[in-house]
Chains A and B, each alone.
Chain A
Amino acid sequence: MTEAVNQPDQPETLVGGEKDLFSKFDSLIQMRTDLLSTGVTDPFGMVMERVVSPTVAICNGRETILLGTYNYMGMTFDPDVIAAGKQALDDFGSGTTGSRVLNGTYAGHKAVEQALCDFYAMDHAMVFSTGYQANLGIISTIAGKGDYIILDIDSHASIWDGCKMGDAEVVPFKHNDIEAMEKRLRRIPEGAGKLVILEGVYSMMGDIAPLKEMIAVAKKYGAMVLVDEAHSMGFIGPNGRGVAEDQGCLDDVDFVIGTFSKSVGTVGGFCVSNHPKFEIMRLVCRPYVFTASLPPSVVATAATSIRKLMDGKAKREHLWENSKVLHKGLTDAGFQLGTESPQSAIIAVIMPDLERGAAMWEALLHEGLYVNLARPPATPANMTLLRCSLCAEHSAEQVQQIIGMFTRAGKAVGILG
Chain B
Amino acid sequence: MDREETSARIAALIEPFNKKGVAVTDATRFTDDLEFDSLTVMDFVAAIEDEFDIIISMNAQAEIENYGQLVDAVVKLQG
| B-binding residues in A (CB < 8 A) | 148, 153, 163, 169-174, 180, 183-184, 187-188, 377, 381-382
Task: Tell me whether B59 is interfacial, beta carbon within 8 Å.
Answer: yes
What's the Cα separation between A16 and B60 when bound, in Å? 33
**A174 pairs with B46, CB closer than 8 A:** yes
Given contacts A172-B42, A180-B46, contact A187 B57 (CB under 8 A): no
> Chain B: interface secondary structure?
helix
Chain B residues whose C-beta falls within 8 Å of the C-beta of A173 in the assembled complex = 46
**Interchain Cβ contacts under 8 Å between A and B, 30 examples:** A148-B55, A148-B57, A153-B42, A163-B58, A169-B57, A169-B58, A169-B59, A169-B60, A170-B57, A170-B58, A170-B59, A171-B55, A171-B58, A172-B42, A172-B58, A173-B46, A174-B42, A180-B46, A183-B49, A183-B50, A184-B49, A184-B55, A187-B49, A187-B53, A187-B54, A188-B55, A377-B38, A381-B39, A382-B37, A382-B39
| Chain A: CB-nearest residue to B39 | A381
| A-binding residues in B (CB < 8 A) | 37-39, 42, 46, 49-50, 53-55, 57-60
Chain B residues whose C-beta falls within 8 Å of the C-beta of A148 in the assembled complex = 55, 57
Chain B residues whose C-beta falls within 8 Å of the C-beta of A171 in the assembled complex = 55, 57-58
> Chain A: interface secondary structure?
mixed
Least Cβ–Cβ distance between A151 and chain B, in angstroms: 10
Least Cβ–Cβ distance between A326 and chain B, in angstroms: 29
Least Cβ–Cβ distance between B20 and chain A, in angstroms: 18
What's the Cα separation between A189 and B28 when bound, in Å? 30
- Besides A148-B57, A169-B55, A187-B53, 20 new A-B residue pairs in contact (Cβ under 8 A), listed by A number: A148-B55, A153-B42, A163-B58, A169-B57, A169-B58, A169-B59, A170-B57, A170-B58, A170-B59, A171-B58, A172-B42, A173-B46, A174-B46, A180-B46, A183-B49, A183-B50, A184-B55, A187-B55, A377-B38, A382-B37
What's the Cα separation between A153 and B42 when bound, in Å? 8
What's the Cα separation between A55 and B62 when bound, in Å? 44
